[in-house]
Amino acid sequence: MIDYVSVLTENPNGVLATKNGEKLDTRVFQFLFADGNKIYFCTSSEKPVYAQLKADPNVSFCTFPANYSPVVSVNGKAVFVEDISLKTRALDENPGIKGIYNTPENPVFKLFYIDTKEVQTFSSTEGPKNYTL
């Protein structure tokens, strides 16, 4: 299996897909860090994506390096957490995000992880692969 966490770490910007009622919405998102099968992200409680994830937590995040190999898609359910130590880590490791939210206690700062159930990859050497975790 491709080390998908390394791919995410080296290519943190990708596309997050959520359900918005019956349609899908995609937007550029930034991977923050991983802990086992938990892939962390953050958002504002004032953004539509927050409401979408609360209504339907099924989500997919896709990223890839400049040469498109490997492409990694992480699929699972979004789980919101209020753990101050995890929020502090997210802010400390990402100065741009800290500039937006300032403190882990900011009530609009929402941290979530994808409880990864499936990883799909494509590489020029291995072709497409699906992994259930």
Q: Is residue 131 part of a domain?
A: no
Asked if residues 75 and 59 have their Cβ atoms less than 8 Å apart, the reply is: yes
Domain that holds residue 24: 4-125
pTM of the full structure? 0.93
Residue at 72 is within a domain: yes
> Where is mean pLDDT largest: 34-38, 67-71, 109-113, 117-121?
109-113
For residue 106, what is the DSSP state?
A: -
**Total domains present in the chain:** 1
CA distance 128 to 33: 25
73 is a domain residue:
yes
pLDDT grade for 133, boundaries at 50, 70 and 90: confident
Inside any domain, residue 132? no
Classify residue 97: in a domain, yes or no.
Answer: yes
Mean pLDDT along residues 77-104: 97
User: Could you tell me if residue 42 is inside a domain?
Assistant: yes
Q: What is the CATH number of the domain that holds 108?
A: 2.30.110.10
Q: Name which of 1-10, 40-49, 91-100, 108-117 the model is least confident about.
A: 1-10
Look at residue 133 and tell me if it is in a domain: no
pLDDT of 34-63, one tens digit each?
999 999 999 999 999 999 999 999 999 999
